[in-house]
């Protein structure tokens, strides 16, 4: 249901005049990108989609959403095949995206998702990018600037 919820116009603003804005394939990301950057061309890619999540086990019992989220993410962390994507696969996907964006010698912007963003930032740090904020929790619409000696990336 979250993926289908409409986007609420927030207070996120980005001072960005670059050409490349990468957006995940989720429609919410495209909607968010349009709110932030206006009507323009976006580069959509599944490489920056949110990490998929499924129930930790099958049961007919109703349990709190937080329970499912925590146990599903623990399974992801331990590379459980129960989850649609393992941590290892997410790292590989983020690494591939970092390789793609490193080919361009220009600033870029990325509209992606909170849980995936942690992995993306980790992979970017490994190749020399430095974040503007060292945090573990992000708010919706929060901007993180990643810089290296050649370019600036806004996530």
Structure tokens at 125: 């740090």
Quick one: tokens of 98? 């970092």
Exposed (0-12), middle (13-18) or buried (19+): which is 65, by Cβ within 10 Å? exposed
Task: Please report, for the chain, the start and end positions of each structural domain, with discontinuous segments joined by +.
Answer: 2-50+92-154
Instruction: Determine phi and psi for 26, rounding to 5 degrees.
Output: -70, 130
pLDDT at 115: 87
Strands, E assignment, the chain: 20-23, 43-44, 108-111, 130-131, 145-147, 152-154
Q: Which two tokens stand for residue 6?
A: 């409409």
pLDDT tens for each residue of the chain, 155 residues long: 666 666 666 656 677 777 899 999 998 889 888 888 888 899 999 999 999 999 999 999 999 999 999 999 999 999 999 999 999 999 999 999 999 998 888 889 999 888 898 899 999 999 888 888 776 677 777 778 888 766 555 55
Q: What is the pTM of this model?
A: 0.84
DSSP H helical ranges for 9-62: 27-37
């Amino acid at each position: 249901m979250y993926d289908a919820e409409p986007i609420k116009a927030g207070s996120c603003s980005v001072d960005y005049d670059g050409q490349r804005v990468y957006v995940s394939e989720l429609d919410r990301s495209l909607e968010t990108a349009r709110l932030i950057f206006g009507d323009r061309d976006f580069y959509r890619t599944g490489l920056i989609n949110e990490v998929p999540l499924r129930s930790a086990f099958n049961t007919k019992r109703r349990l709190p959403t937080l329970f499912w989220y925590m146990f599903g993410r623990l399974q992801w962390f331990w590379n459980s095949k129960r989850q649609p994507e393992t941590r290892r696969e997410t790292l590989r996907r983020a690494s591939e995206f970092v390789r793609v964006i490193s080919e361009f010698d220009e600033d870029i912007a990325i509209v992606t998702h909170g849980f995936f963003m942690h992995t993306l930032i980790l992979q970017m740090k490994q190749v020399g990018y430095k974040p503007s904020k060292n945090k573990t929790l992000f708010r919706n619409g929060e901007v993180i600037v990643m810089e290296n000696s050649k370019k600036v990336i806004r996530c």
